[in-house]
Structure 1
């Protein structure tokens, strides 16, 4: 808010450890909403094209699978090791990309800053799918705005604590499999 701090006490959803802090997603990452390339630049031919993703169709369990759709005129990219968030039906689905890809208007990319682990942000935002759905608009197709994403509150622990949390979550997932 124009460099002016404001009280967020009424927005805090739960108590966090004393050494953690609440921060908005826009303050710990670069967030870009996707933009679809011109229709005649999209095809199944990858010759001189960039891999293109419009929604969750090629989402894997955690990591983005390869698309069979390409564009010769990309507009927006998701960088390697970024999160892809569905901003249109189904709102809130999430994946991590291991490579640069072009994204259309059904996705946004979230690239955490250096002191934030992508995996930690991924696991946290998985818990926010319902929040994103509740803050979506539209009657035929639900969608969330950039404002909803930018202002999402995020509990930020130290990098050491993030690493411990990731290790614990991945250990539990491996046991469940």
Structure 2
């Protein structure tokens, strides 16, 4: 019937109105929560930060200010979580993606991690399944995603709840095509960087 459906439990829900554009027949639309673990980090008060986590040995703690608009992360910011406190913090694993989801930088600061880190509550970690992290990383910067993300912003400071982020749709190609897409984008990005 040329409609898109989502199965929730035993119910089939018509989601045709949510679909932003047509995709090839061998692709599927799915929710971000179906392709990645998605969660926010932990906040630390300034007092606690100075007393327990400044200039100590431990796992880097990344805040929004440490994720640049240039898709890079500043790791050595002077804040770290010693091993004895690690169980109190959420960890974003190496190769996962951190994106700001609150404030003026929401949806605009994004980077892939090159190591495990602890991270702040205004950042969202996308820890993808099955080695598709670069595809998700590029999709999170696409006009399609940005439109859906901005359409879900609420509040005075402008943010998107984790529940809404999880429900955003992503078009998923077959694995060989996904790998070709990522390779082409990598190649394009490298050529821009080398200019």
Question: Which TM class, normalised by the smaller chain length?
Answer: 0.7 to 0.9
Backbone CA RMSD of aligned residues: 2.0
How far does residue 157 in structure 1 lie from its aligned partner after superposition? 0.6
Counterpart for residue 91 of structure 2: 77
SS in 2 for 1:133: helix
How far does residue 87 in structure 1 lie from its aligned partner after superposition? 1.2
Distance 2:42 2:72 in 1: 21
Matched, 1:58 2:72: no
Q: What residue ranges of structure 2 are gaps of 5+ in the alignment?
A: 1-7
* TM-score normalised to structure 1 length: 0.88
How far does residue 64 in structure 1 lie from its aligned partner after superposition? 2.6
SS in 1 for 2:39: strand
Counterpart for residue 4 of structure 1: 11
Counterpart for residue 26 of structure 1: 33
Distance 1:121 1:175, change over 3 A: same
Distance 2:16 2:133 in 1: 27
**Count of equivalent residues:** 174
Q: Which has the larger radius of gyration?
A: 2
How far does residue 52 in structure 1 lie from its aligned partner after superposition? 0.6
Counterpart for residue 118 of structure 1: 133
Q: Which has the higher helix share?
A: 2
Q: What residue ranges of structure 1 are gaps of 5+ in the alignment?
A: none
Counterpart for residue 102 of structure 1: 118
* TM-score normalised to structure 2 length: 0.80
